[in-house]
Amino acid sequence: MGDWHKNSVLGPERAAYISPTKDVLNAGMIFTTHHDAPVALPDSMRVLSATVNRVTRSGEVLGADQRVTPYEGLKAMTLWPAYQHFEEKIKGSIEEGKQADFVILSANPLTVDPLTIADIKVLETINDGKTVYQRETVNTQASIGGDRDRQGCITSAGYQWCAAIKQCVRAWELAAEQGFDNNAAQFARFCDQ
């Protein structure tokens, strides 16, 4: 999304200041992170990676001075949202007396190379002390871009191949840019020319 904001909406200087997380922390405030589901499939590790690395889909760093540590990024997904929702006494951290909501990951986001955070897989999800998700097959040797299709489009982020312009695009962004209705038939008509 950063590429689109930079190239189509805000320009480089303003786009580099999207979600000024480091400045928020430096000002003594907290922030929370989110994904754009249902616009894109939910993937919390991608959200953490984007918060920590600020690398766009094209590989450009957007706002390097706004990067935060993996620990701060995790707090923006756990402790700080609980506080934002006035639930910090029952959620947000693993403590006696709190609701036992947590995940088991394939790697530790605090110790891996930050550029590989997006490749970490959720192995198990525990909600209120009960397993609600368990990954069937585990590949701890995940590779960067492992969710790319054969054209290289990152499908979990909503990208699909458009043959007409020979690049990966998000249908809704292309529809807005090219002035056609955002639906599968119009996308196919434009891209499969």
Structural domain boundaries in the chain: 2-134, 155-191
Q: Which of 124, 105, 115 is nearest to 145 (CA)?
A: 115
- Three-state SS for 13? helix
pLDDT at 24: 94
pLDDT at 23: 94
Give the residue carrying structure tokens 């249908």: 171
pLDDT at 144: 45
Q: Alpha-carbon distance 70 to 83, whole Å?
A: 19
pLDDT at 26: 95
pLDDT tens column, 136-181: 864 544 444 556 777 778 776 677 889 999 888 888 788 888 898 8
Q: Alpha-carbon distance 92 to 108, whole Å?
A: 18
pLDDT in 10s for each residue of the chain, 193 residues: 577 777 888 878 888 888 899 999 999 999 999 877 776 678 899 899 999 998 887 788 888 999 999 999 999 999 999 999 999 999 988 888 888 788 999 999 999 899 999 899 999 998 888 889 888 864 544 444 556 777 778 776 677 889 999 888 888 788 888 898 888 888 889 998 6
Q: Alpha-carbon distance 109 to 122, whole Å?
A: 12
pLDDT at 90: 92
